[in-house]
Amino acid sequence: MVTPKKQILKDEPVPFRLYAVASSLSVSQMVWSLNRVCNLLLKQNTNLEEQLGFPAFTDRETYSSTVLTLVGNKVAGKTLYPKLANIDFILEVSGLTDDDYFNNIIKNIKTIKGVQVVSEVQPSLLKRKNPYCSE
């Protein structure tokens, strides 16, 4: 009798990108500005806030196969990602999108008054393999 081979099933990684945003804006001002300038519908994500202990906002409605999540990197003297201590927000874009989409988001965020820096961060720098919010 032949013994069956074991098969290891792996989930396909969910594509996502992270953007570090340095800004003098408060969390509510940043959410309002992103919603206005990028035509988003960021809403408070209380489940993620409870999990992280940092403010979080998610948009699952604007694009059918893309989820955007804004997480505050600093709260009451604590930093979510100490490697990015000078960064105020992390914007996560997960799901299916193209490079033009990413470039357009960065371009629009840079037009917000009070935003000093927007740059892409490799998830591996923050030891992230999966997005906070997937589609």
pLDDT in tens, 61-116: 987 788 999 999 998 889 999 999 999 999 998 887 777 877 888 899 999 999 99
pTM summary value: 0.84
Please report the sign of the dihedral spanned by the C-alpha atoms of residue 60, residue 46, residue 111, residue 128.
negative
Domain ranges of the chain: 16-126
Intra-chain end-to-end CA distance of the chain, in Å: 44
CATH number at 16-126:
3.30.70
- Which of 69, 70, 65, 68 is closest to 135 using CA atoms? 65
